[in-house]
């Protein structure tokens, strides 16, 4: 199976799906009915036996509780990661008030994640219809949030899981980490990730980077944007501070919650910063 087949299938499921648009029933305000959530996605492929998956067990990255692809699926051959970039209207809306999430961003985080799960299930069904195995770790019963080694919410390791969409996307060649710990792709940092594991052999992508933060310019824009000072040059993002703020937004906008200020009004919002692009003059 070729990557283009996967990319075409994902794009079709996203771009022509009515669930990629906010329904009148779900709209927080009437004018948001029909709002597009995601633009055309990016797809990255990794070999299920890529050594980088084993390296994610390092406690300084994720930890021993991370399960590599072969532990999720016997006979795993490929991992597919998908980046769903937010639409322009979603990104633009969240640049206005830098203290609270916009209604558009709230929709994209909540209804957007529901839609991503639906797309993943449809892809799984597509593989299974062709007698191939497919596992979606984040919606698998074995998926677990949080580290088994600490219950202290102040510890960075507390905010880990046994499958990390961003780290998997890094291995699949989609991008590198920013100071805010978001992943910078060729379509930017503003969006969501999903992934699945299959026993189909698909040619892996070549990673065009060697460092985990290669696309970040360390400009500090995300530091300035963060409404609760959770990001710094010295420590990157302090997850507990960010999480506490998200809890506040959840209380205010229940069942939705969001922030996303580190993903907008930054040089990496819509792509890799110019001076970090391969071949660019610096």
**pLDDT digit string, tens, across residues 150-199:** 888 888 888 899 999 999 999 999 999 999 999 999 999 999 999 999 99
Mean of all residue pLDDT scores within the chain? 95
Phi first, then psi, for residue 186 (nearest 5°) are -70, -15
**Averaged pLDDT for residues 217-223:** 97
What pLDDT score was predicted for residue 119?
Answer: 97
**Averaged pLDDT for residues 104-117:** 98
Contacts 24+ apart (CB under 8 A), 161-166: 161/62, 161/65, 162/65, 162/66, 162/67, 162/137, 163/66, 163/67, 163/72, 163/137, 163/138, 163/195, 164/56, 164/62, 164/66, 165/81, 165/138, 165/193, 165/194, 165/195, 166/193
What pLDDT score was predicted for residue 274?
Answer: 81
Residue 2: count of CB within 10 angstroms of its CB: 10
Contacts of 79 (CB under 8 A, 6+ apart): 45, 46, 47, 48, 50, 53, 69, 168, 171, 172, 195, 196, 197, 198
Phi first, then psi, for residue 259 (nearest 5°) are -150, -85
From residue 238, alpha-carbon distances to 109, 116, 203, 234 in Å are: 20, 27, 37, 10
Q: Report which DSSP code applies to 242.
A: H
**What confidence category does residue 277 fall into, taking pLDDT thresholds of 50, 70 and 90?**
low
Tell me which residue has tokens 């703020």: 245
Q: Where are the beta strands (DSSP E) in 115-175?
A: 134-135
Q: Report which DSSP code applies to 144.
A: -
Closest alpha carbon to 62 in 257, 228, 196, 239: 239
Asked whether residue 247 carries a pLDDT value surpassing 80, the answer given is: yes
**Averaged pLDDT for residues 58-68:** 95
Q: Where are the beta strands (DSSP E) in 100-141?
A: 134-135
Tell me which residue has tokens 């072969």: 70
What pLDDT score was predicted for residue 153?
Answer: 85
Q: Report which DSSP code applies to 81.
A: E
**What confidence category does residue 278 fall into, taking pLDDT thresholds of 50, 70 and 90?**
low
Share of the chain above pLDDT 70, in %: 98
Asked whether residue 254 carries a pLDDT value surpassing 90, the answer given is: yes
CA distance 175 to 189: 9
Give the burial class of 199: count Cβ atoms within 10 A of its Cβ; 0-12 exposed, 13-18 middle, 19 or more buried.
Answer: middle
Phi first, then psi, for residue 79 (nearest 5°) are -120, 130
Phi first, then psi, for residue 177 (nearest 5°) are -75, 145
What pLDDT score was predicted for residue 21?
Answer: 98
Q: Look at the pTM and tell me if it is higher than 0.75.
A: yes
Phi first, then psi, for residue 48 (nearest 5°) are -60, -20
Cis omega (within 30 of 0) on the bond before 139? Answer: no
**What confidence category does residue 201 fall into, taking pLDDT thresholds of 50, 70 and 90?**
very high
**Averaged pLDDT for residues 20-45:** 98
Q: Report which DSSP code applies to 207.
A: P
Share of the chain above pLDDT 90, in %: 91
């Amino acid at each position: 199976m070729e990557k283009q087949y996967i990319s075409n299938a994902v794009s079709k499921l996203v771009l022509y799906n009515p669930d990629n648009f906010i329904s009148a029933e779900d709209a927080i305000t009437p004018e948001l009915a029909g709002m597009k959530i995601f633009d055309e996605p990016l797809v990255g492929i990794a070999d299920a036996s890529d050594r980088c998956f084993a390296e994610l067990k390092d406690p300084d990255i994720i930890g021993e509780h991370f399960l590599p692809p072969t532990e999720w699926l016997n006979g795993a051959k490929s991992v597919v990661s998908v980046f769903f970039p937010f639409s322009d209207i979603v990104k633009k809306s969240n640049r206005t008030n830098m203290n609270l999430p916009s209604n558009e961003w709230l929709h994209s985080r909540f209804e957007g994640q529901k839609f991503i799960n639906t797309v993943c299930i449809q892809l799984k069904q597509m593989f299974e219809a062709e007698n191939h195995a497919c596992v979606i770790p984040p919606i698998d019963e074995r998926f677990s949030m949080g580290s088994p080694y600490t219950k202290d919410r102040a510890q960075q390791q507390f905010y880990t899981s046994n499958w990390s969409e961003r780290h998997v996307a890094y291995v699949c060649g989609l991008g590198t980490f920013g100071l805010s710990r978001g992943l910078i792709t060729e379509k930017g940092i503003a969006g969501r990730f999903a992934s699945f594991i299959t026993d189909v052999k698909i040619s892996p992508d070549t990673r065009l980077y060697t460092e985990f933060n290669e696309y970040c310019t360390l400009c500090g824009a995300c530091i300035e944007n963060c409404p609760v000072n959770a990001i710094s040059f010295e420590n990157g993002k302090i997850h507990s501070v960010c999480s506490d703020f998200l809890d506040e937004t959840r209380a205010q906008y229940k069942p939705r919650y969001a922030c996303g200020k580190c993903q907008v009004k930054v040089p990496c919002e819509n792509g890799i910063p110019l001076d970090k692009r391969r071949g660019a003059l610096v």
